[in-house]
Structure 1
Amino acid sequence: MADGGNGRVYIVDDDEPVRDSLKTLLESFSLDVRDYASCNDFIDTYDGSGSGCLLLDLHLPVMGGLEFLERYGPRLRGMPVIMISGRGDPATVARARGAGVVAFLEKPFEEETLIAAISSLLPPPAARPGT
């Protein structure tokens, strides 16, 4: 579904099987998904015009999720961010929230938890253009 980004989910995760699994899951809910292996790949292609939400891994090579948000957060223009991680201590979660993260999900998380978090951030399907 190409909708100009209103129902788009951007996934940034260096683990290809995880990224592919998340993309398949989200597309099964008729979401428009773009996926990237690194923060640099994402920011190099994101033009700031789309809305939606960003599903961002905390631990990434070269530039981690928190470093990315602290450096490029303003370019996201208020796009909500859901951070995912296999390790999320309270200090890291607090730092993530301070960087604008609206939800922090520890891997492994339930599919329903992820879908609920994303659904709360996107307009209902009927309100999305083209649906």
Structure 2
Amino acid sequence: MSGQFLTIFEFLIAFLLHFSSLVRIGLIFKHKIAKKKEMAPFLVCLLINWTIVCTLLIPYEVYGIAVWRPVDEIYHNSLTLFLIALPAHLALAAIPVSVFYLTLDRILVITYGFAVGQRTNKLICLFLCFGYFYWIWNLCERFYICVK
């Protein structure tokens, strides 16, 4: 995060877009609840993931805006920046997984119809859980190797 003006504009635009995304996702959920309409479970998962990401990115962007100065080199409190930025960027990595499963769900529903698509949701959930536990297992194994 340098002291260039493009950096402050980047943080301002990102802040505005993430805040408007939170508002729009809230309106989507409000509309679906008010109309008592059903949503695909993977779409709900994707919207929840984006809500978490936007909620975690807003403090990072506020920090970037608050500490910005028009100088060449800005020194940051590394622990504060680490604690604010790490959860946001880790949550951001979960978005493609949700998009993949939503795409797979939509392909199955379009190909085989809604009834078969609902049955395949259980299979997709099973693969999702398996993939999640496999990812956690690999993460723990890599951490153990790094610590060792």
TM-score bracket, shorter-length normalisation: under 0.3
- Give the TM-score normalised by structure 2: 0.25
Higher radius of gyration, 1 or 2 = 2
Q: Flag the structure with higher helix content.
A: 2
